[in-house]
Amino acid sequence: MRYIEPTRVKVLMMMFFATGAIGIIIGLSPVAGPSQTLMITFMGVINIGLGAFFTFLFLTQTRKDPDKRKKKRKD
12-58: per-residue pLDDT in tens? 999 999 999 999 999 998 887 788 888 999 999 999 999 999 999 99
Question: Considering Cα of 47, then 24, then 56, then 65, what sign does the dihedral take?
Answer: positive
The Cα–Cα gap between 13 and 58 comes to 9
What is the length of the chain? 75
Q: What is the pLDDT of residue 47?
A: 97
Contact 13, 54 (CB under 8 A): yes
Lowest mean pLDDT among 50-54, 62-66, 71-75: 71-75
Rounded-to-integer distance, Cα 9 and Cα 57, Å:
8
Phi/psi of residue 40, nearest 5 degrees: -65, -40
**What is the reported pTM?**
0.76
